[in-house]
Homo-oligomer: A and B are copies of this chain.
């Protein structure tokens, strides 16, 4: 790996790096965020007993839409033609694991898009529970795996 930050030039000033000569390939990234709350709040989010239980669905859409807008939020990110986004939720005893997967056929990886999708979905869960649990937190936002591109495949912990 390089030993300096690619987004800073020699004098330390920020720029959006040139990707015009990079190859267009299929790239996939998976990221997660963990939403931690009280044990009794988790079932409220899952809401399986209500005719319509739109808490997770709302967070899912928030994550998908945020993935598409990553380049508007993260200043030095390139706009990318996103090909696919999915956001999934797994209930644990007192937490919900948010997993986001993003695919592109483009010149840069989509780690930022996957991280943004997972983070905004988790923040949307917080928004929904904050009246019942102000102390809820979001932790473990991280890339789980990526594939495609010159740097090749990568998987956390391997």
Report the Cα distance A69→B38, complex, angstroms.
28
Question: Which of B71, B112, B119, B136 lies in contact with A68, CB distance below 8 A?
Answer: B71
B81:A81 contact, CB within 8 angstroms: yes
Instruction: List the 4 closest pairs (A to B, CB-CB), nearest first.
Output: A12-B50, A20-B83, A18-B84, A138-B141
CB-CB contacts of A24-52 with B at 8 A, as 1s and 0s? 00100000000000000000110100111
B79:A81 contact, CB within 8 angstroms: yes
B4:A44 contact, CB within 8 angstroms: yes
| Residue picked from A53, A129, A140, A143, most chain B C-beta under 10 Å | A53
Cβ-based interface call for A115 (8 A):
yes
B20:A104 contact, CB within 8 angstroms: yes
